[in-house]
């Protein structure tokens, strides 16, 4: 199952995870990143790179953020792919 970006990424949007992704599955909007579940190969390289612990394997997404699984799938269809590091919106919490 694909990985999922969850609530801690909102208004933070660190992009360290993007630089280690071997398949360019990250997309960005004005507040956060999302992962395209159809492109993600479930390698897990992105998880340790996230300074706010916002990325989870699909089966490990906390219940309180379960809606982010569908949000990632929906948003990734319309948002641009992000392939390079950018400045974050806010420092890690």
The string of pLDDT tens digits covering residues 25-64 is: 999 999 999 999 999 999 999 999 999 999 999 999 999 9
Tally of domains in the chain: 1
pLDDT of residue 92: 61
Length of the chain (residues): 93
Q: Is there a domain that residue 87 lies in? A: no
Q: Is there a domain that residue 41 lies in? A: yes
Q: Which domain holds residue 14?
A: 3-76
Q: What is the band of 85 on the pLDDT scale with cuts at 50, 70, 90?
A: very high
Does residue 73 have a pLDDT over 70?
A: yes
Q: Is there a domain that residue 82 lies in? A: no
What CATH number is given to the structural domain containing 60? 3.30.70.20
The pTM of the whole model exceeds 0.85: yes
Q: Is there a domain that residue 85 lies in? A: no
Q: What is the band of 74 on the pLDDT scale with cuts at 50, 70, 90?
A: very high
Q: Is there a domain that residue 13 lies in? A: yes
Residue 42's alpha-carbon distances to 2, 51, 58, 83, 88, in angstroms, are 5, 19, 9, 17, 24
CA–CA dist 63, 40 (Å, integer): 21
Beta carbons of 7 and 67 less than 8 angstroms apart: no
């Amino acid at each position: 199952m694909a990985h999922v970006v969850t609530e801690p990424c909102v208004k933070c949007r660190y992009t360290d995870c993007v630089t280690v992704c071997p398949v360019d599955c990250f997309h960005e909007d004005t507040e956060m990143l999302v992962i395209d579940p159809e492109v993600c190969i479930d390698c897990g390289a992105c998880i340790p790179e996230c300074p706010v612990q916002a990325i989870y394997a699909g089966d490990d997404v906390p219940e309180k953020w379960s809606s982010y699984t569908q949000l990632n799938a929906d948003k990734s269809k319309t948002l641009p792919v992000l392939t390079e590091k950018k400045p974050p919106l806010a420092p890690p919490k």
